[in-house]
Structure 1
Amino acid sequence: MSDSKTAAKADILESDEWRKAVDYAITDEDIERQRKLLGFDQAAKTREYNQVATEDNIRNFAHGCGNDNPLHCDPDYAKKTRWGGLIAPGMMAGIINKPMLGDPVPDEIKALRKSLFKGVHVFVSGSTWDFYRPIYPGDTIYSFNGDETCEVKQSEFAGRSVISTRRDVKLNQRGEVVSVYRILRVMTERKTAAKKGKYSAIEPATYTDGDIAKIDAVYAEEKVQGAAKRYFEDVAEGEVLGTQAKGPLTVTDVICFHSGGYGFVPYAPTVGRLAHKNRKRIPAFYVKNEQGIPDVAQRLHWDPKWAQAIGNPMAYDYGVMRENYLYQYLSDWCGDDGLVLHVHDEIRKFNYMGDVQMVTGKVLAKRTENGQSLVDVAVTFVNQRDEETLRANATIALPSKDNPLPLFPEVPRELAQKAAQMMARHWELGGK
């Protein structure tokens, strides 16, 4: 870094505006209030960019994740599959939402939530998905959610942090549970993150033409199982799932992910009058940049100076980007007739601009349960520094000679009843 750039960065880090931006702390009161919120479910009133699945937004979301599987992208191909048409990548359920009507939030819950963890950083550090139905074009997705867990930790990089699991139950217009999405969030103190600079020694990756050619060779060998059945009987414990490349990561990748439908409402990047209204509504989410312009705190995914101001050497991806890369890897392997039923992942390291991920997996075990032929697999993402950045395990139902078309599992009774009650209340209140 040149002397002028070093001086500019120092000016940013020492400015009053940026010092205030990194001076939020997690309090005992925050933690106590968060724990009192556990178990409260609320109809999600968020109006995401996509509320109804269509052939276009399914294809656009898949492409925004780098996924060209024809089951999601080619209607003519998909018509010939067991599904009779396109279906969405399973994790797309996380970015489709139409407001769900429900009873008013009690005053005591509102009081607990007011300014809770104000101004702290929120990192998605992993998730767990359970899938129960596909999403077809024409499906409207609603959801209700609530926090399930709250754990306090201390770390060198983030100082005091709170690890919380939120459960999002995703329903279609018939009140059927499509999937359950449990999001592991880590809330950290900005001031500690900015001071420690634990990752400051990491240098941006650079590549020669030969390096890019090696990555391209991996892309060229990637296979989509597609219509060719991968039978349970032909899979062996310890078998490798193959290798896929993801990256090198660029700002363009993040833009494509947003363009594909990742809204992150109500914190989504907005423009003009919409941005003005959002700044008035949630001022703590906006921090002035080096030009004095208020901008979203989440710009650490594309603004290197802001990423550096909070203790990272450069901008980095959204964790959910890698989670969707993971889903592509699994669905490419199992084929059109296989079903990804369960995924649990842990985000282990940051994926910085310029980093490339090599995705590999292996079969851990085979088992038969409730008439289903199930395969348990492990998947890892490793970057060019030979660091594991994502670790995951998944359960996949494969076709077998006795059961050529595996089915999704039944929704647990208690969950199905809760979903039916939430959806019935939505309809009672005039929801469509």
Structure 2
Amino acid sequence: MAEELDTSDIDRWVGVPLSQSGLVEPIQLNDIRRWAQAMHHPNPLYYNPEYAAASRFGQIVAPQSFTVVCEAGHGARPSTQGHIPESHMLFAGDEWWFFGPRIFPGDRVTIDQMVFDYRKTTTKFAGPTVVQRGDNHYVNQRGERIAIQRSSAIRYQPATARASAAFDERDEEIDWSDDDLARITKEKHEYVSSIIALGHDRRSWDSVQVGDELPAKVIGPHSVVSFTTEWRAYSMTGWNTAWRKQLADPGNSGWTAEMSVNEEHAGWDPEFADGAYYGAARGHLNAKYAKRIGMPRPYGYGASMGAWVLDYLSSWAGEWGYVHHTNTQYRGPALSGDVTYLRATVTDKSPDVDPAMGKIHLDYVMTNQRGEVQAKGSGEVLIPRD
């Protein structure tokens, strides 16, 4: 039996401010467009200037999911702080609290980070495992709180995950027929039509009833191409685009050598610290390294799955509403060749502290084409009461 993971180095970081981070330049309009493109999010509010000009914002605005782009590590750093020898990590979930301010082109966002807590457990996937949570506080240049993200990661030893072969039965990638692809395209069109139908109008409080089901959102089929597009839309993946101010010794997470950056070579070529070419993200795009960490083939990003949830709920709320809170647990990977379906149900309605807004409570689930759960959770969106 594999030994319990050594968490002694994590203990010294719990509750300790770690760093501040952000982007070197102000957020650009094309940063927002590129993000909508990468997240498979065809809401014209985020890329079409004519459509956005007629909105309540009068211009293109960033989707709420764009918040994570502003951080120099897509929110994962405080959930992987502390040394665990010969380890790797996967996203386990995200909890978000949003406070209302939106992100616009020209904004600057600063993020403060801290380890929140961790616990030890045993999983079918990797045996002895650490589930670690870390907080990211997002604030704009006006001092307005945008959001808090509590990111969760599972930290494990890849050798144990390879031995467990938990995902080996998923080794075959689907070769979708033309008829299948036509059906998927039809499902995508039905979803986008629901966004266009609401347009710039307010979603009516009275029209929402407990038990209502939101239109299903379809993403995929996923591929190395789509995963690469996602990765490159994270602004920190561009060379020299992010800054980080360490407020404490950053330590070393303990990644295996093959999933680590090459610090020596990175001094003369940043490709060697790029993450996708060399580093912890290379398993997302390369089947060889996916298998090294216990995955059967290339797989999607946990941070993107969290973004899909935020995009899904916020587009349903409409431009006069917004996502207030989500708590999402990631249960399985979005593998290359898979299709993802997002569905949600209204579970309750209640007043908000702001008398002009009402709170809609929802449960949501993300599944693949086989009905296997990729993520699930609950959240609240705020919409006007008049």
Fold similarity call, TM over 0.5:
yes
Amino acid at match of 1:261: Y
Amino acid at match of 1:159: G
More helix by share: 1
Cα distance in structure 2, aligned partners of 1:92 and 1:139 = 12
Q: Which residue is equivalent to 1:67?
A: 41
Equivalent residues of 2:87, 2:157 under 8 A apart: yes
Q: 1:128 aligns with which of 80, 95, 102?
A: 95
Equivalent residues of 2:272, 2:278 under 8 A apart: no
Q: Which residue is equivalent to 1:187?
A: 155
Q: Which residue is equivalent to 1:198?
A: 166
Cα distance in structure 2, aligned partners of 1:297 and 1:57 = 23
Q: 2:320 aligns with which of 294, 312, 337?
A: 337
Q: 1:387 aligns with which of 359, 372, 386?
A: 372
Equivalent residues of 2:119, 2:131 under 8 A apart: yes
Cα distance in structure 2, aligned partners of 1:281 and 1:269 = 5
Equivalent residues of 1:51, 1:141 under 8 A apart: no
Amino acid at match of 2:201: A
Per-residue deviation, residues 282-314 of structure 1 (Å, max 9, x unmatched): 9xx89xxxxxxx943421101112212332221
Equivalent residues of 1:125, 1:184 under 8 A apart: yes
Per-residue deviation, residues 182-206 of structure 1 (Å, max 9, x unmatched): 1001101111012121211222222
Do residues 89 (structure 1) and 89 (structure 2) align? Answer: no
Per-residue deviation, residues 226-247 of structure 1 (Å, max 9, x unmatched): 3122111110000011111111
Q: Which residue is equivalent to 1:36?
A: 12
Q: CA deviation at 1:153?
A: 0.7
Per-residue deviation, residues 156-201 of structure 1 (Å, max 9, x unmatched): 3212111111100011112221111110011011110121212112
Q: Which residue is equivalent to 2:343?
A: 360
User: Cα 1:135–1:255, aligned 2, differ >3 Å: closer, same or farther?
Assistant: same
TM-score between both structures, scaled by the size of structure 1? 0.75
Q: CA deviation at 1:278?
A: 5.9
Amino acid at match of 1:66: H
Amino acid at match of 2:70: I
Cα distance in structure 1, aligned partners of 2:25 and 2:31 = 10
Q: CA deviation at 1:52?
A: 2.0
Q: Which residue is equivalent to 1:221?
A: 190
Equivalent residues of 1:26, 1:120 under 8 A apart: no
Per-residue deviation, residues 115-165 of structure 1 (Å, max 9, x unmatched): 712441111111011111111111101111101111011123212111111
User: Cα 1:51–1:27, aligned 2, differ >3 Å: closer, same or farther?
Assistant: farther
Aligned positions of 1:11-410 closer than 5 A: 27-28=5-6, 31-45=7-21, 48=23, 51-97=25-71, 116-132=83-99, 133-202=101-170, 203-222=172-191, 223-224=194-195, 225-263=198-236, 274=266, 295-370=278-353, 371=355, 372-401=357-386
User: Cα 1:98–1:300, aligned 2, differ >3 Å: closer, same or farther?
Assistant: closer
Equivalent pairs counted in the alignment come to 351
Amino acid at match of 1:381: M
Q: Which residue is equivalent to 2:254?
A: none
Cα distance in structure 1, aligned partners of 2:146 and 2:312 = 21
Cα distance in structure 1, aligned partners of 2:214 and 2:8 = 44
Please give the secondary structure, in 1, of the residue aligned with 2:61.
coil
Q: CA deviation at 1:391?
A: 0.4
Cα distance in structure 2, aligned partners of 1:350 and 1:137 = 32
Amino acid at match of 2:121: K
TM-score between both structures, scaled by the size of structure 2? 0.83
Structure 1 vs Structure 2: percent identity of aligned residues? Answer: 23
Cα distance in structure 2, aligned partners of 1:84 and 1:98 = 29
Q: Structure 1: which 5+ residue stretches go unaligned?
A: 1-23, 100-112, 287-293, 402-432
Cα distance in structure 2, aligned partners of 1:159 and 1:121 = 13
Cα distance in structure 2, aligned partners of 1:116 and 1:331 = 37
Q: CA deviation at 1:349?
A: 0.8
Q: Which residue is equivalent to 1:421?
A: none
- CA-based RMSD of the aligned residues comes to 2.9
Q: Which residue is equivalent to 1:404?
A: none
